[in-house]
Chain A
Amino acid sequence: MSKFKKKKGGDLPAVNTASLPDIVFMLLFFFMVATVMREDTLMIENRLPSADQIEKLEKKNLVMYIYVGKPSSQYKAKYGEEARIQLNDKFAQVSEIAAFIAAERASKREEEVPFLTTSLRVDKEANMGIVGDIKQELRKVNALKINYTTTQGDVSNNN
């Protein structure tokens, strides 16, 4: 019954995967270069609004971040639904901003201090009351350069 024997030579040859590591490494290097490690763990919802008349923030090491937004789901029970401020890794009151700015300034070299910018990363659903309070507090400590951080996009995306 040799008629029904499978032909040996007709098998598809296995795909050569020798270059797979190279491809993966290429991707790996891309992500390693493009990645920016997140410094702060966000405990709030932070969806930035979009705008199109924006400027890039240069010199990332001279930026101080203030996050504002509703506490995320696991903190809701403890901190409520109202938008709150997050500095570094914990929730803060408006009055703590002055101390935060002072600490950030102390950690930088003296000649760099005038170039420090405060980046306000505020959730788009927050209201202006809390932002106004923060701005007032920043004026008190003379941290006047601010940046309303937004994403690139048309303002019509905000609704």
Chain B
Amino acid sequence: MAKRAAPEVNAGSMADIAFLLLIFFLVTTTMEKDSGISRKLPPMDDSEEDVIIKEKNIFKVSLNGRDQLLVEDELMELKDLRAAAVEFLDNGGGENANGEACDYCKGKRDANSSDHPDKAIISLKNNRETSYKMYISVQNELVGAYNELRNRRALEIGPKSGFRDMNFIEMQKNFKDVNWPGNKTKLEEVIDQIKAEYPQKLSEVQ
């Protein structure tokens, strides 16, 4: 009995079909880029209670309609802003609300600058005409100043808890990472301590 082989399907056009799909996905694809500077807006609060803050504990940053940067009543270039903010936050010239001096600050301890990182506030004011890119640049530099101080602190206190050579950014990343093998409760303690020592106090003037 003659055994008839099933005729082979011609697969020559498979490549064409695959190309078609490939081109479709190439065109529609948008690579994931959902990252940015996270902020928390202050809640609507109608109670107008005056909080008394000493002038020296406020770091005034303002932007005018022509994207010029005014820091503590002096014109400044954007590239110098981060260093100036670090110097202000890390000054540690006095005591915090509990009367403790800042023993981890490495600043100049100038009596005319901020008392304690806990009290230091950065106030950002912008004009309606300010461009968004300039505003983001300034926000970025200010967040960068906080991150710089937190990173430095993380490298100091991290090794005591067994986290050697890990800066604050890496700590936060590891804390979120499900596959990270280390001790997360310990890590959280360190992160919280650093956050408490250098709290982000950034206020925006409306």
Chain A positions near chain B (C-beta within 8 angstroms): 17, 20-21, 24-25, 27-28, 31-32, 34-38, 48-49, 51-58, 60, 63, 117, 119, 122-129, 131-132, 135-136, 138-140, 142, 144-152, 155, 158-159
A145 to B41, CA, bound (A): 7
User: Closest Cβ of chain A: how far from B29's Cβ, in Å?
Assistant: 4
B78 at the interface (CB under 8 A from A): yes
Q: How far is the CA of A27 from the CA of B25 in the complex (A)?
A: 10
What total of chain B residues lie within 8 Å of the partner, measured CB to CB?
48
8 A–B pairs (Cβ distance < 8 Å), ordered by A:
A17-B15, A28-B25, A35-B25, A52-B144, A128-B132, A132-B206, A140-B44, A150-B35
A32 partner residues in chain B, CB cutoff 8 A: 25
Residues on B with C-beta less than 8 A from A58 are 176
| Main secondary structure on A side of the interface with B | mixed
Decide yes or no whether B21 CB sits under 8 A from chain A: yes
Pairwise interchain contact B34-A63, C-beta atoms closer than 8 A: yes
In the complex, A85→B68 CA distance in Å?
26
A53 touching B143 in the complex, CB below 8 Å, given contacts A129-B128, A139-B43: yes
| Residues A53 and B144 in contact in the complex (CB < 8 Å), given A34-B29, A148-B136 | yes
* Bound CA–CA A139/B22 (angstroms): 44
Which of A51, A122, A138, A144 has the largest number of chain B CB atoms within 10 A? A51
Report the bound CA distance from A122 to B15 in whole Å: 41
Residues on A with C-beta less than 8 A from B140 are 51-53, 150, 155
CB distance from A50 to the nearest CB of B (A): 8
Q: How far is the CA of A150 from the CA of B33 in the complex (A)?
A: 8
C-alpha spacing A157/B133, complex, angstroms:
10
B39 touches A147 (CB 8 A): yes
A152 to B35, CA, bound (A): 8
Write the nearest CB–CB distance from A137 to chain B, whole angstroms.
10
- Complex Cα distance, B25 from A49, in Å, reads 26
Q: Is the CB of B129 within 8 A of A128?
A: yes
Which residues on A sit within 8 Å (CB–CB) of B136?
A: 49, 51, 124, 148, 150, 155, 158
User: Is the CB–CB distance between A122 and B132 below 8 Å?
Assistant: yes
Task: Using known A-B contacts A28-B22, A122-B132, A155-B137, determine if residue A55 contacts B15 with beta carbons closer than 8 Å.
Answer: no
Instruction: Determine if B36 and A31 form an interchain contact, defined as CB atoms under 8 angstroms apart.
Output: no
6 other A-B residue contacts (CB within 8 Å) besides A21-B11, A131-B135, A145-B41: A28-B18, A52-B144, A57-B38, A125-B131, A131-B132, A152-B33
Contact pick for A38, options B28, B39, B128, CB 8 Å = B28
Contact of A150 among B37, B40, B141, B144 (CB under 8 A): B37
- Docked pose: A55 CA to B36 CA in angstroms: 6
**How far, in angstroms, from A21 to B15 measured CA to CA in the complex?**
4
Nearest A residue to B142 by beta-carbon distance? Answer: A53
Do the beta carbons of B128 and A158 come within 8 Å of each other? no
Question: Cβ of B36 and Cβ of A51 under 8 Å apart?
Answer: yes
Say yes or no: A126 contacts B132, CB within 8 Å: yes
A119 x B34 contact (CB < 8 A): yes
